Amino acid sequence: MSLKAIIYKNGEVEILDQLLLPEQSKYIKIKGVEDGWNAIRKMQVRGAPAIAIVGCLSLAVEVQDKNFDHKDSFRQEIEEKLNFLVTARPTAVNMKMAAENLIEMVQTLTDDGTVTVDEMKHRFLAAVENMLEKDTFDNMALGKYGADKILSNTSNGDAVQVLTHCNTGSLATAGYGTALGVIRKLFEQNRLEHVYCTETRPYNQGARLTAYELVHDKIPATLIMDSMVASLFKSRCVSAAIVGADRVAANGDTANKIGTYQIAVLAKYHRVPFYVAAPFTSIDPNIPSGDCITIEERPDREMTHIGDYRIAAEGINCWNPAFDVTPNELITGIITEIGVFEPHELRERAGGRGTGK
Ligand code: MRU
């Protein structure tokens, strides 16, 4: 059975609490926007696509049984709550894109005199539900494009070794995953010799979550510390590095989990192709470059403690940016659900594409 981070059934939303993994698999109910915002902020759900889906579903469950007398009051509530959900985590763009698209949709329906308030609510709920299905579908397409691209650099029939960072799998999306989706596809095609996943300090998404998914799917894998990437590239034959994205700018600069940038630098030095796997919901055509991306800074405690145990000297200052930006010149290709592009090709492809309009 595949892992599911988000379960939406009979109008109810549950998420797998990722703070408890891998020790415990416990689902918690998301009863409305407040719960959704808190779960995203606390990282009980994380990963750019999953954040957007849970945020929007939290609003769907909140409004589904409410009666609205006027279209304008429905529109106003949707707009206010979506804008609030965007504030939970600032770097990943998917929630912002979803909010903009849904706000535009309810505005259009408000202006359309032939649509009733009930019809408008129904259309809103259907659009949110569609996000779950579309994300898994897009990830499977992306996985195939990515696997084909990576295999195109190898001799016929050869299996590859790849490196990935952070968690971009079923736990970070509606299903299958982005960078981990590419790895799943390689494995399904019997063309994956081995995957290396980084620990991903300080939140340990690699050690806790990616390792969990890889073991769950019986994919041959080895965990390394973040500081071992250079040695790995030097001593083992790695065919490609594949990472996800929280926001890709129009020029291809990519914000992703802290540590991604240094992997890209090391990949360039060791001539390892470096791929970003991202659905169009993670591409922000409105910003020209990575300089415009706000980088979330998280609490010192993530660095100073492991669980309740303090590992850092008392009194030391900490700097804990959750993401970094990899410049486009270090990126070999951006793998999407419609194909693989070089960073400079993205601008024309990204215009007009978003959360599925
Ligand atoms: O802080 P996180 O765990 O939300 O960061 C996750 C990442 O950086 C992922 O690589 C990115 O969101 C893509 S998930 C498909």
Cα(167) to centroid(ligand 1), Å: 6
Residue nearest to atom 15 of ligand 1 (CA): 168
Query: 161 and 64 in one domain?
Result: no
Cα(78) to centroid(ligand 1), Å: 26
Catalytic residue among 17, 135, 138, 246: 246
- pLDDT tens column, 202-220: 999 999 999 999 999 999 9
Average pLDDT, the chain: 95
Q: pLDDT exceeding 70 applies to what percent of the chain?
A: 98
Q: Among 333, 251, 332, 329, which Cα is nearest to 292's?
A: 251
Answer whether residue 78 is part of any domain.
yes
Which domain-ending residue is among 85, 103, 136? 136
Answer whether residue 1 is part of any domain.
no
Answer whether residue 233 is part of any domain.
yes
Query: 319 and 300 in one domain?
Result: yes
Answer whether residue 155 is part of any domain.
yes
Query: 268 and 228 in one domain?
Result: yes
**Calpha distance 147→189 (Å, rounded):** 9
Query: 125 and 54 in one domain?
Result: yes
- pLDDT tens column, 163-175: 999 999 999 999 9
Q: Does pLDDT of 354 surpass 50?
A: no
Query: 176 and 108 in one domain?
Result: no
Say yes or no: CB of residue 205 within 6 Å of ligand 1: yes
Which domain-ending residue is among 102, 136, 170? 136
The sign of the torsion formed by the CA atoms of 246, 237, 343, 259 equals: positive
Q: Does pLDDT of 279 surpass 90?
A: yes
How many other CB atoms sit within 10 Å of the CB of residue 292? 14
Answer whether residue 43 is part of any domain.
yes
Q: Domain containing 232 — which CATH number?
A: 3.40.50.10470
How many other CB atoms sit within 10 Å of the CB of residue 351? 9
Structure tokens at 183: 């790895």
In this prediction, residue 155 carries a pLDDT of 82
In this prediction, residue 350 carries a pLDDT of 72
Query: 230 and 192 in one domain?
Result: yes
Answer whether residue 271 is part of any domain.
yes
- 285 Cβ neighbours under 8 A, 6+ residues apart: 250, 347, 350, 351, 353
Query: 89 and 13 in one domain?
Result: yes
Query: 126 and 273 in one domain?
Result: no
Confidence of residue 351 (pLDDT cuts 50, 70, 90): low
Residue nearest to atom 10 of ligand 1 (CA): 244
Query: 349 and 262 in one domain?
Result: yes
72 is catalytic: no
Q: Does pLDDT of 67 surpass 60?
A: yes
**Residue 84 domain boundaries:** 6-136
In this prediction, residue 307 carries a pLDDT of 87
Q: pLDDT exceeding 90 applies to what percent of the chain?
A: 94
- pLDDT tens column, 18-52: 999 999 999 999 999 999 999 999 999 999 999 99
CA–chain centroid gap for 125, Å, is 22
Query: 127 and 164 in one domain?
Result: no
**Calpha distance 49→36 (Å, rounded):** 14
Which domain-ending residue is among 117, 136, 155? 136
Cα(111) to centroid(ligand 1), Å: 37
Query: Are the C-beta atoms of residues 306 and 204 closer than 8 Å to each other?
Result: no
* Residue spans of beta strands (DSSP E) within the chain: 6-9, 12-16, 27-30, 160-164, 192-198, 221-224, 240-243, 247-249, 254-257, 274-277, 283-284, 305-306, 309-310, 323-326, 333-336, 339-341
How many other CB atoms sit within 10 Å of the CB of residue 163? 28
Mean pLDDT, range 95-101, rounded to an integer: 97
Confidence of residue 355 (pLDDT cuts 50, 70, 90): very low
Q: Does pLDDT of 347 surpass 90?
A: no
Number of independent structural domains in the chain:
2
Provide the whole-model pTM. Answer: 0.95
Confidence of residue 353 (pLDDT cuts 50, 70, 90): low
Q: Does pLDDT of 352 surpass 90?
A: no
Using DSSP's 3-state secondary structure scheme, residue 327 falls into coil
- pLDDT tens column, 107-156: 999 999 999 999 999 999 999 999 999 999 999 999 999 999 999 988 87
Answer whether residue 313 is part of any domain.
yes
Q: Does pLDDT of 336 surpass 80?
A: yes
DSSP letter for each residue of 77-90 = HHHHHHHHHHTS-S
Q: Domain containing 25 — which CATH number?
A: 1.20.120.420
Query: 296 and 221 in one domain?
Result: yes
Ligand 1 pocket test target in 136, 142, 168 with most atoms within 8 Å of CB: 168
Cα(255) to centroid(ligand 1), Å: 10
Residue 289 backbone phi and psi in degrees, to 5 = -150, 175
Answer whether residue 185 is part of any domain.
yes
Query: 176 and 115 in one domain?
Result: no
In this prediction, residue 11 carries a pLDDT of 92
* Residue 180 alpha carbon, nearest atom of ligand 1: 15
Say yes or no: CB of residue 260 within 6 Å of ligand 1: no
In this prediction, residue 20 carries a pLDDT of 95
